[in-house]
Chains A and B, each alone.
Chain A
Amino acid sequence: MSSPAPSAPRTGGRDVAVVAFAQSNHTRHTDQLSEVELVMPVLHDVLKQTGLTANRIGFTCSGSSDYLAGRAFSFTMALDGVGAWPPISESHVEMDGAWALYEAWVKLRTGEADTALVYSYGKSSPGSVRDVLTRQLDPYTLAPLWPDSIALAALQARALIDAGLTDERRLARTAVRSRRAATANPHAQLRGSADVEDLLRRPYEVEPLRRHDCPPISDGAAAVVLAAGDAARALHANPAWIRGVDHRIEAHQPGVRDLTDSPSTRLAATAAGAFDAPFDAAELHAPFTAQEVVLRRALDLDDRVRVNPSGGPLAANPVMAAGLIRLGEAAALIHRGEAGRVLAHATSGPCLQQNLVAVLENTGGGTR
């Protein structure tokens, strides 16, 4: 009675779990596939895993961006792969699919649906994703300068090096660790890596970042099925229960922020209950090596936690799907019985501007 109010209100609601996850084999080009042809196989995969059909799904939510492939309203055509007639309960976010998952999670928590299909896709190959991403920037003071995604990440990496928080050698080690981990991931695009010394002899992309510090340019898609309470228990023997999920955003202007820190990640993690107990593994959406440094600091992850056992976005980075894939990979660790408590993170915007943190566990109850 006299205890202080918790930092995030515990709200009533049902337990929600990830009960299926599928992803494409991510590749540099998918010229032979339209977006719906890219998405449909992963949709069919998760439906087959659960035995559900589209018309038995309570809510469908997707995440994508038309700018990547330059195709207006591409998400409406991707919806053809769902079977959306008669009209289904459906929504779309012009964001990474992790935020589509968040919207679906809210629907399930509030009892508006018992099951949800969440999917996302990114087809970057038709355009130049480095340049396309400049169009998400402030149109008055940033976008006219066309600072590409690698340039902005390099400014952040320099700030971290100046602060003594990392160096080029340690960044290369992160790249090697990620891509060697990806050798066990059949969906990854970059599997295996040259050693650190070899990588450090290669030229800079935008100094201090070399090519190995940057994510590959990927086409790919991913889907998950969420279910609430007994529906989740009926659909999977080991549901990956979402114990908490939250997302926070920071100022857009990179010059306003301390680029070496991520208070939004820390706040989201606190609200999601991330600091209540240790993790077996973490799937971090850090497309650039230096961003993993920022996230590890914000999340208090030490070397005992396995980070990105899938290889992470350095091994495959389908923009708009890479965050949802972190949630899916985290859930898959629990589905396979390889972990009991996993942190999943997704990001959006330049230099980790916006961050989502989810805590997944193999036991239900007590959703925060």
Chain B
Amino acid sequence: MTTAAELLAGIPELAGAEPVTRVTIPARLEYTYSPGSAQARFLTALPEKRLLAERCPQCTRVYVPPRGACPTCGIATPEQVELPHTGTVTTFCIVNIAAKGLDVEVPYCYAYVLLDGAHVGLHARIGETPYADVRIGQRVEAVWDDRRLGPSLASISHFRPTGEPDADPESYRRWM
């Protein structure tokens, strides 16, 4: 394949010029994001330390955060369900690489927490425990950040172990 330098060599005005091989042209688009009705209901309950999920009227699965539709049945999920602040770790990892723009110190423990009564895991961080002790089946509870209460999941600082015995695997096996 021909190179830029070879093409330039044939043009007297440009022979020997250092060829451009890469170009960076940053682009920026600005939006105003609105989350839609179901997620707005979930978000506006967070400052009151309430976790509002939605139940599918057909398959009865409970989704949190709700997106307004049951992905299994393809129908709206109008029934709201308030969930407790406790749940079970269904999977986790220890993050050692800081993500650009994320205001979290590494390492941290990132987990799916299946809130009691829910059928999808909530993305969460696990704290107040050595990471070596975090395990699937561990019982945890939400710790709210009173300084950051607002219509955002940042209202929940993290989840911490409750000290209860681990959950029966049958209780979460289908929702991992």
- The smallest C-beta distance from B99 to any residue of chain A, in angstroms, reads 15
Chain A min CB distance to B56 (Å): 10
Say whether, besides A37-B38, A143-B25, A54 and B74 are in contact (CB < 8 Å). Answer: yes
Count of B residues near A, CB < 8 Å?
25
**A36 contacts B37, CB within 8 Å?**
no
Q: Is the CB of A126 within 8 A of B32?
A: yes
Task: Considering the complex, give the chain A residue whose CB is closest to the CB of B36.
Answer: A34
In the complex, the answer to whether A32 meets B37 with C-beta atoms within 8 Å is yes
Which of B's residues lie within 8 Å of A, judged by CB?
Answer: 23, 25, 27, 29-40, 67-76
CB pair B71–A80 under 8 Å, yes or no, is yes
Bound-state CA distance A82–B23 (Å) is 41
A128 at the interface (CB under 8 A from B): yes
Q: What are 8 inter-chain pairs, A to B, with CB distance below 8 A? A: A34-B39, A36-B68, A37-B36, A37-B38, A44-B75, A81-B74, A83-B72, A132-B29
Q: State how many angstroms separate the Cβ of B19 from the closest Cβ of chain A.
A: 14
A67 contacts B by Cβ under 8 Å: yes
Question: Is there a chain B Cβ closer than 8 Å to A164's Cβ?
Answer: no
* CB-based nearest B residue for A86: B72
In the complex, chain A residues whose CB is within 8 Å of the CB of B37: 32-34, 37
Which residues of A from 16 to 60 have beta carbons under 8 Å from B? 31-37, 40, 43-44, 54
Counting contact residues on chain A (CB < 8 A from B), the size range is 20 to 34
Q: Is the CB of A135 within 8 A of B67?
A: no
Q: Which residues of A contact B70 (CB under 8 A)?
A: 80, 83
Smallest distance from the beta carbon of A54 to chain B beta carbons, Å? 5
- B69 near A143 (CB under 8 angstroms)? no
Question: CB within 8 Å of B: which residues of A?
Answer: 31-37, 40, 43-44, 54, 67, 69-71, 77, 79-85, 126-128, 131-132, 135, 139-140, 143-144
Return chain A residues, CB-CB under 8 Å to B76.
37, 40
Q: A32-B36, A37-B37 are in contact. Are A81 and B69 (CB under 8 A)?
A: yes
Q: Which residue of B lies closest to A127 (CB)?
A: B31
Q: Are B33 and A84 in contact (CB under 8 A)?
A: no
Since A40-B75, A83-B74, A128-B30 are in contact, a sample of 15 more A-B pairs with Cβ atoms closer than 8 Å, ordered by chain A residue number, is A34-B36, A34-B67, A36-B68, A36-B69, A37-B38, A37-B69, A54-B74, A69-B31, A83-B70, A84-B71, A84-B74, A126-B33, A127-B29, A135-B27, A144-B25
Q: Is the CB of A79 within 8 A of B71?
A: yes
